[in-house]
Structure 1
Amino acid sequence: MPASPSTARAINDRFALRLLQEEGPLTAGQLKQLTGLSRPTVADLVERLTEAGLISVVGESGEQRRGPNARLYGIVADRAYLAALDVRTQGVTVVVADLLGRELARASVPIADDAGTGPAVEQAVGLVERAAKEAGADRLHTVAIGAPGLIDPATGELRDSTGLPEWHRRLAAALGERLPARVLVENETNLAALAEQRDGAARDRDTFVLLWLGLGTGAAVVLDGTLRRGASGGTGEIGFLPVPGTTTLPSATDCEGGFHSLGAAAAIDSLAREYALPAPAPTGNEPPAATLVRTAAEAATSRPPAGGPDVPRDGGAAAPADSNAPQTRPAAGGADASSDGTETSVHPLGDTDTGPDTRPSADAHARFLDALADRFAIGAASVVAVLDPGCVVLGGEVGQAGGEVLAARVEARLAALSPLPTEVRPSALGGAAVLRGALLMARDTAQDDLFAPPPR
């Protein structure tokens, strides 16, 4: 059944707006060429979109020809303003942007553990209001929140969890009450996967798994271009995956003994102590575990990755984390720590600086990376065996810090563990992927709403 004239107009308008978003300002002739529509149809849609306040003349083409230059049409960027939030256990970062996703303001605020739910919510909401004012955004159209924990598929809200601060769950409702905006919430690891697919390491992949390696562990699954959340919103809770090499088994309320105990920041710190690697000096907002991995990757660059997990090494995949090392625990039933790489709750190594005469060798760094790759390959192999994604992105601050050096080691071990060919890539965005993913979600939602002007 052919589309009605009004439906056809709406489809054409949306297509033209998407092209203007992706390509930048275009002339009517360029829109005709890219859409395949007739000249009168393009003229009509340009008129409709201009009257709707969605596009405007932003300049003229630079073509050298007789007569006046053709007008360039572009999306009206200030037609809507957006806010993206990265909610961590101990603070919030917000970015305010225009309809094209251009950043106009950014701000952060730490929130103490003992702040109390009401004051913590007020701090976060006030931060958004101040950032919007600084950006000159008199009205926010859409606010997207990236937060740890599970999202209830039925309500779109964070599920209750004793492992998460209560203010996390209250924040979305409070923003909705204070701001005339649509408020969305998504799991932080899922948002990281969205950002890596659109702007990062998985731009050429419709199917892949992002393995989050930060303060904690998590995973996001994208199949045939669609993010998969699962029946309860828990797809990718890999921290609870039972694995060899731990001293116990995870439970429904505690992921200690699962993959979290091998790949989370505290476990990486403990593993580094086994190889006598010194505590890293503070490096901006980079968490200590990521700095350890980055330093090791830089030191071991000249050494090729080992062939697989069967190569004898100190501290193989089965080496348990130091049971005396302080552990960071994520939310019960959720990946609370999955992207909290910048949290100050990461336990730094002790004072293990051995001085300039006993600095660890490149070989010690390489063996540390070998052992770490063994651990990461265990989690990756479990996911690959079930989903066969063809590509695993090592996400988060640790995945980005390890770069190609760590990714190559994990890929070699994965090839020895699984018959399914799988490429392993390092994150291109690291911890910034959560905020970028939230902004992309806010922009997509706003454009879906605004890019469908009512039929005339």
Structure 2
Amino acid sequence: MSNVRTATPQTARAINDRIALELLTEHGPLTAARLRELTGLSRPSVAELLGRLGRGGLVDVVGETGAERRGPNARVYGLVAGRAHVAALDVRVEGVSLALADLAGSTVASRSVPLVAATGRREGQHPMVAAVLATLRAAGAEAGVAELHTVALGAPGLADPATGALRVSDALPAWHRELVTALRETVGAPVLLENEVNLAGIAEHRLGSVRDRDTFVLLWLGVGVGAAVVLDGALRRGASGGAGELGFLPVPGTGRLPSAVDCDGGLHSLVSGAAVRALAARHGLHGSGDEDAAGATAERLVAGAAARPDGSAGAFLDELAGRVALGAASATAVLDPGCVVLGGEVGRAGGRVLAARVGTRLRELSPLDTEVRATAVDGNPVLGGALVTALDAARAELFATDR
């Protein structure tokens, strides 16, 4: 007996509707004639699907083309962006950034919530949790967002793929876990939790320098060190959500080994923000003005060196590149991704200058052909990845709705 199943008319309609919605999302407003060209569907089929999508509140006429004669085919159809809204949050130790976007992916509000001192609790909540919830409500009210369809949140630490919770860590504030719980209890929408470096990797894949690749490793260089692993187009989290925790990677040059509770002695000791500042000081570099290396941020020091990569600045970049290449070589030896992206604040600051130096050093350490690229995501990559994640979830549900 054959296992081949013939698609029912209802299934075919659902598939065609989703294709049309994805085209409107990717290309923006389109005429019915252009939709026919892109989908290969007949004139009656396109007319029927536009009618279904219009009745479902997902598509509407947004104008007319000037090049064609007035009539049904001259109408321009667009996604109803206000049909749903999503929220993205980037949760850091020093505060929270958040953004709201419509179904078309346009940001309608963005806010920053600086760290609130942990003095007293309101209604049992940590003051920081209360501040974030209040800011999210206010931003939604000002943007005219009545309700959220999906929230995606990025935070440091391990996001357990089995439970959807942040694992307890002495290195991170307790209010991070409280915030996740409070959002799930009060926001009235699904809350998706992801490690912040993983979200940056998603942003790099969809919005940044590796849109042409489905396999790569994003090496995050900032205050801390981490990696996002994308293989065959899928983010790989590992069994416990710990894939990419390169800060704990044992490497030469640290004088000790990391432990289960302390990444000092691992790659973190060579390329964390504090390590980069110490390296810059050893090379006699300074920040802007009279600021010495110890008082400057790692990204400012790297950006300054990359702008004039000669003399002591060039030597500093060469040594930093050698350290970064140790982490890249380890990932390459295990995964053979073909491409490593340098992200995070330091990776962005070093840009192509640092990436080229890391690539040279990596070729000396590894026999595998691996390209090293600089990040190309505009703005906050964690927020960008969170918005992509939330929008994917919202569209998957709304675009699959039977009509």
Matching of residues 395-434 of structure 1 within 5 Å: 395-429=343-377, 432-434=380-382
Q: Give the counterpart letter for 2:319 in structure 1.
A: A
Deviation string 1:392-413 (CA, Å, 9 cap, x unpaired) is 0000111111011110000000
1:279 to 260, 276, 287: 287
Deviations 1:70-116 (A, max 9, x none): 11110000001111111000211111111111111111111146356
Do the aligned residues in 2 keep the contact of 1:90 with 1:113 (CA within 8 Å)? no
* SS of residue in 2 equivalent to 1:140: coil
CA distance in 2, matches of 1:453, 1:49: 10
Given that residues 221 and 235 in structure 1 are in contact (C-alpha distance below 8 angstroms), is that contact kept between their aligned partners in structure 2?
Answer: yes
Aligned equivalent of 2:62: 58
Aligned equivalents of 2:21, 2:164: Cα separation in 1: 28
Q: Deviations over 1:239-298 (max 9, x none)?
A: 00000000210011110000000010000000011101113458xxxx710010000011
Scaled by the length of structure 2, the TM-score of the pair is 0.93
User: Sequence identity of aligned pairs in percent?
Assistant: 60
Question: Which of 169, 186, 192 matches 1:184?
Answer: 192
Q: Is the 8 A contact 1:397 1:431 kept in 2?
A: no
- Counterpart amino acid of residue 299 in structure 1: R
Shift of the alpha carbon at 1:68?
6.6
Amino acid aligned to 2:137: E
One-letter identity of the residue aligned with 2:358: V
**1:88·1:148 contact (CA, 8 Å) conserved in 2?**
yes
Structure 1 residue aligned with 2:204: 196
Q: Which amino acid aligns with 2:63?
A: G
Q: Which residue of 1 aligns with 2:109?
A: 105
Superposed, which structure 2 residues align to 1:307-326 within 5 Å? none
Deviation at 1:167, TM superposition (A): 1.1
Select the residue among 246, 264, 270 that pairs with 2:272: 264
CA distance in 2 between counterparts of 1:75 and 1:186 reads: 28
Following superposition, the deviation at residue 207 of structure 1 comes to: 0.6
1:122 alignment counterpart: 130
AA of the residue aligned to 2:304: T
Name the CA distance, whole Å, in 2 between partners of 1:33 and 1:294. 47
Alignment-derived partner of residue 443 in structure 1: 391
Residue in structure 1 matched with residue 77 of structure 2 by the alignment: 73
- Separation (CA, whole Å) in 1 of partners of 2:71 and 2:251: 72
Answering whether residue 144 of structure 2 is matched by residue 136 of structure 1, we say yes
Matches within 5 A, 1:118-267: 118-267=126-275
Residues 185-206 of structure 1 show CA distances to partners (whole Å, capped at 9, x for unaligned) of 1110010011111111111111
| Alignment size in residue pairs | 390
Q: Whole-Å Cα distance in 2 between the matches of residues 398 and 121 of structure 1?
A: 29
Q: Which residue of 2 aligns with 1:288?
A: 297
Residue 354 of structure 1 aligns with which residue?
Answer: none
2:40 equivalent to 1:36: yes
**TM-score, structure 1 length as denominator?**
0.83
Q: Distance in 2 between matches of 1:160 and 1:27?
A: 52
CA distance 1:42–1:66, change in 2 (3 Å): closer
Which stretches of structure 1, 4 residues or longer, exceed 3 Å deviation after superposition?
64-69, 112-117, 279-282
- From 355, 365, 377, the equivalent of 2:325 is 377
Looking at both structures, which has the greater relative contact order when contacts are Cα pairs under 8 Å and sequence separation is at least 6? Answer: 1
d(CA) in 1 for partners of 2:193, 2:382: 12
Q: Which amino acid aligns with 1:132?
A: G
Aligned mates of 2:366, 2:216 — CA distance in 1: 16
2:50 to 36, 46, 52: 46
Asked whether the 8 Å contact 2:82–2:103 carries over to 1, the reply is yes
| Contact 1:396 1:431 (C-alpha < 8 Å) held by counterparts | no
